[in-house]
Each structure stands twice: as structure tokens, then as C-alpha cells.
């Protein structure tokens, strides 16, 4: 019981350390991921004094603006999906259609249209939809409860895609806590949306993109987080149970938010943690024999 209590205290300490690192360092990075200072500060359609900007993110796409627009207006569960982690969306009950085709019935987007979050809302954990508030064809549109999607022409073969997310200002502490938690989760999904649109616009329609790397990356992250907790429980002394786990937990956060979401980083971290756990176990066995 004493060891269990100690391990819980260590997990609380590591969690507080992660929150501190997130607030002081990571939050400013993930809320402006890929965006230039100009893109972060520029006024955009959808900006409103009653709304608070929570993020401005961007990506450079090596494709003409008109080509990127074709993919962008496919956004929606009943259109072309959200180009994000489809397997995570399905686990949460958000079913979408095929994401690798430009469907001829969705060649435009209109004010007042509803962009659906799922084609089967009864299965969704929290049903949601986005109403189209503003459209400037080939250039930008605004979705209620999400934000602004803007295309900036760099040259004839390159386009910047900028997504600015906004939320209503509130004084409700519970809503503030929910929004605080939502920011990093939204980043993980929106970053993949930006990357997903980039991939499809650059490769072209009809090419089926594999989700294998995404799945391997995701489960590498999940298993790494679980094994860090295991290391807390089996570690002995300050070095094993606090210092090593604090280092791993920091690298774990960086693997999620700073490094590219590819298997190289999540599986590499997973292997290092596994090797450390085996080493700790061997050290424990050797210590018992010497005693």
C-alpha cells in the first residue's frame, strides 16, 4: 500500500511537470504550428470581438490554389471526411466517407450548409456539426464552432493553407477547463488534417493512402505512455522512479507535439522504455542475489 501511494504521488508530480512544460513551452508552439508571424497576426474572415482565437496553424502545399480548394471543400463526414486520423474518429463513433476522392457532387460550398461531423450521429460520443458562415470561392470559408479556412497563393504551384480556430469567450470555469483540455487534442487532429490535405492535393485524386504509419505512430504513443506508468511502479529510488520517468514523460510529450507524427519517433521511444524496464528488472534481480 505504501509503494502504491508513493507511485501515485510520483505520477501526480510528473503530470504537474508536464502541465508546466506545456504551459511554458509547448502551448505557444502547437497553437501556431506551421504559421508565420504574419499569418498569426493577420485579420481573417471569421474574426469576431465576441470570439477568442485559440490557434492559427498553416502548411505549405506544393499544388495550385485551385487544386487545394477542390480538396478543402470536400471537408465533412458526408463529403470527403476530415483527412485526419480516420481510425480514431471511427473508434469515437464519427463515421466518414471515403477520403481519397474528389466527389463531383461536392464541387462547391455554400453559406448555410451544414458540414456534418459524422454520417451516423447516434454512434458519436458527442454529436457535432459545423454551419458554413462565410464563403469566398477559391479563397476561404468560415465554419461555426471551428473557424476560418484560408488559401494564400504563393505562386502557380504552391499554396499556403491556414486554419484559424476560434471559440466563444466565457467566464464559466468548467468551460474554460474543457477548452484547455481540448486545445492539445484538437491540435493532434487538425495537424493531421493539414497534412492530409497536403498529401492528397500533391498526389492527386484516386490514390489510396495507407493509414498504417498513422496507426503504428498512435499505438506507439499509447503504449509508451502506459509503460512510463509501469516504470513508475517498478522503479526504486529517486533516479529510477522519478528522474528517468520524468525524462521519458518529457520526450513522450515532445513525440506527440513537436516531432513529426511518424512511427520512427513513437516506436523509437517505445523501444527505449522497454529496454529501460528490462534493465531495471535485471538490476533488481542482481540486488536480491547480492543481498
Alpha helices by DSSP H, listed for the chain, are 2-21, 27-30, 37-41, 65-72, 86-91, 173-203, 212-234, 237-238, 245-257, 263-290
Radius of gyration of the chain (CA): 22
Is the confidence at residue 2, as pLDDT, over 70?
Answer: no
What are the pLDDT digits (tens) for 210-238?
A: 889 999 999 999 999 999 999 998 888 78
pTM equals: 0.91
- Delimit the domains of the chain by residue range: 2-25+214-290, 33-209
- Find all residues with CB under 8 Å of 159, minimum gap 6, and list them: 60, 61, 63, 64, 65, 67, 68, 151, 152, 153, 201
Asked if 214 and 90 touch (Cβ cutoff 8 Å), the reply is no
The reported pLDDT for the residue numbered 252 is 96
The reported pLDDT for the residue numbered 206 is 66
| Second-level CATH architecture of 33-209 | 2-Layer Sandwich (3.30)
Q: Mean of the pLDDT values across residues 22-36?
A: 96
What are the pLDDT digits (tens) for 52-103?
A: 999 999 999 999 999 999 999 999 988 888 999 989 998 888 888 766 677 7
And the C-alpha cell for 162?
491556414
Amino acid at each position: 500500500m505504501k509503494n502504491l501511494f508513493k507511485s501515485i504521488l510520483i505520477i501526480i508530480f510528473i503530470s504537474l511537470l508536464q502541465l508546466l512544460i506545456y504551459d511554458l513551452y509547448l502551448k505557444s508552439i502547437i497553437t501556431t504550428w506551421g504559421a508565420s508571424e504574419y499569418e498569426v497576426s493577420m485579420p481573417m474572415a471569421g474574426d469576431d470581438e465576441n470570439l477568442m482565437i485559440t490557434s492559427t496553424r498553416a502548411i505549405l502545399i506544393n499544388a495550385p490554389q485551385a487544386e487545394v480548394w477542390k480538396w478543402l471543400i470536400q471537408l465533412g463526414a458526408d463529403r470527403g471526411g476530415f483527412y485526419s486520423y480516420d481510425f480514431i474518429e471511427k473508434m469515437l463513433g464519427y463515421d466518414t466517407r471515403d477520403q481519397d476522392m474528389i466527389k463531383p457532387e461536392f464541387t462547391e460550398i455554400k453559406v448555410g450548409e451544414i458540414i456534418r461531423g459524422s454520417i451516423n450521429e447516434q454512434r458519436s460520443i458527442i454529436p457535432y456539426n459545423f454551419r458554413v458562415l462565410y464563403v469566398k470561392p477559391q479563397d476561404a470559408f468560415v465554419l461555426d464552432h471551428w473557424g476560418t479556412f484560408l488559401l494564400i497563393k504563393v505562386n502557380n504551384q504552391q499554396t499556403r493553407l491556414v486554419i484559424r480556430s476560434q471559440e466563444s469567450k466565457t467566464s464559466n470555469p468548467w468551460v474554460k477547463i474543457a477548452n484547455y483540455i481540448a486545445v492539445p487534442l484538437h491540435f493532434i487532429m487538425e495537424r493531421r488534417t493539414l497534412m492530409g490535405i497536403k498529401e492528397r492535393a500533391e498526389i492527386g485524386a484516386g490514390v489510396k493512402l495507407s493509414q498504417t504509419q498513422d496507426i503504428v505512430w498512435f499505438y506507439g504513443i499509447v503504449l509508451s505512455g502506459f509503460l512510463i506508468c509501469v516504470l513508475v511502479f517498478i522503479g526504486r529510488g529517486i533516479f529510477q522512479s522519478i528522474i528517468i520517468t520524468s525524462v521519458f514523460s518529457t520526450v513522450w510529450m515532445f513525440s506527440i507535439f513537436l516531432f513529426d507524427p511518424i512511427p520512427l519517433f513513437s516506436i523509437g521511444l517505445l523501444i527505449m522504455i522497454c529496454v529501460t524496464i528490462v534493465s531495471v528488472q535485471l538490476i533488481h534481480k542482481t540486488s536480491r542475489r547480492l543481498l
